[in-house]
Structure 1
Amino acid sequence: MITAAGMPRMPARVLMALVAAPAGGYTAAELAERLEVSPAAVSGAVRYLQDAHFARRLPSAGRRRDRYDLVADSFHSVVIGNLPVYIRMADYVEKIAAATGDEPAAAERAAQMAGFLRFMAERMPQLVDEWIAQRDANPTGP
């Protein structure tokens, strides 16, 4: 399902394994064994998830192998972190709309896209606040 939302397959698999991870997460070797994939595949997936702020590396004092775990509240943190991207993208798309000249269909498409991106950038913080309030009011489930 996560690949349907746009995440590459291996990072999606590692993400779901981390959702089910015990306290303290998994080592890369444990992830590779659990998913029956190569350590190289896990390495690339973990790097992707770290870059996207979904996973974090937990150094293990006195051990050579780091552990990986989910970032707390990663999904709504990622959404909020991307809001400046939505605004910059809306600005850019509006410039495209202005440059279309005598192409009203292109200008309309660009205006719709920019409007949606600005709407999302405005509403997402409110939705995340609502989620946090709901989560805190009912910590055992939705």
Structure 2
Amino acid sequence: MTQQDRRRIAAGLADGLSYREIARRLDRPTSTITREIARNGGPAGYRPQQAHEATIQRARRGTPAPPQAAAPPVATMEQELIEMAVRAGMPRTAARVHHDLMLAPDGRRTAGELRRRLNVSPASVSVAVNYLVQHGYARRERDSRRRRDIYVIDNDAWYRSVLISRRQTLETVRATMAAAESFGLDSPVGQRLAKTASFLERVSLDMIESADRWRPLLT
């Protein structure tokens, strides 16, 4: 693997790409990318220059890299859940924070706890939590006695995320319908945009009706 490959791996991790997507862009097996990252600091600590130098040193010594212990089943399952969230569009650090909040017995963590558990910077935690709060996956509480924020994921988080998604979809509906009217509802473009707006509006209505119907499952 070249130094340029390693820089592209680091860039992919910074952009929140999955190992599979990074491997596709480098035209290499996913297992190769997984080993490369695991033996050089993991996703949070991967540094392309250090990884390249470490590989050169191993080659000079003529000793292979230490074998990686097989990940326990629970760890493998947790990593797959995070990768699924990333593939669905969630930034990687936000996916890791969300998953760690899910694992908390009371669904609560402070910024310091998240930083230590995930080995990420305070700024990374802040950006990730802002994303989760913005999309309804978590909420922020204030601990007035210790003057700190506590981040919470509760049973209603998924319902809130559906409401926010619906609101965003309706904003798209309004913008699309306005564009349709500007082109003219009798024109081919206007008709296409109007049909799109109608479809999205119906889907959003079905979404909220379904969420309201099944919300008791969360209580």
| Shorter-chain TM-score above 0.5 | yes
Identity value in percent: 38
| In structure 2, C-alpha distance between the alignment counterparts of 1:97 and 1:14, rounded to whole Å | 40
1:114 aligns with 2:191: no
Specify every segment of 5 or more residues in structure 1 that has no aligned partner in the other structure, as ranges.
none
Question: In the superposition, relative to structure 1, how do residues 3 and 116 fare at CA in structure 2: closer, same or farther (>3 Å)?
Answer: farther
1:38 aligns with 2:108: no
TM-score (norm 1): 0.76
TM-score (norm 2): 0.53
Match for residue 26 of structure 1? Answer: 109
Could you give the per-residue CA deviations for residues 41-100 of structure 1, whole angstroms, max 9, x where no partner exists?
A: 112211222233322233335324432111441122221244343333223212222333
Q: 1:1-142 residue pairs with structure 2 within 5 A? A: 1-23=84-106, 25-100=108-183, 104=188, 106-133=189-216, 135=217
Count the aligned residue pairs: 135
Q: Aligned-pair RMSD on alpha carbons?
A: 2.5
> Retained in 2: the 8 A contact 1:53–1:71?
no
AA matched with 2:113:
E
| In structure 2, C-alpha distance between the alignment counterparts of 1:8 and 1:42, rounded to whole Å | 12
| In structure 2, C-alpha distance between the alignment counterparts of 1:81 and 1:43, rounded to whole Å | 20
AA matched with 2:174:
D
| In structure 2, C-alpha distance between the alignment counterparts of 1:85 and 1:49, rounded to whole Å | 15
> Retained in 2: the 8 A contact 1:24–1:67?
no
Q: After TM superposition, which residue ranges in structure 1, 4 or more long, deviate above 4 angstroms?
A: none
AA matched with 1:17:
D
| Larger relative contact order, structure 1 or 2 (CA cutoff 8 Å, min sep 6) | 1
Specify every segment of 5 or more residues in structure 2 that has no aligned partner in the other structure, as ranges.
1-83
Could you give the per-residue CA deviations for residues 91-132 of structure 1, whole angstroms, max 9, x where no partner exists?
A: 32122223335862x335423321221112221222112322
> Retained in 1: the 8 A contact 2:173–2:198?
yes
Query: Which stretch shifts more, 34-43 or 44-53?
Result: 44-53
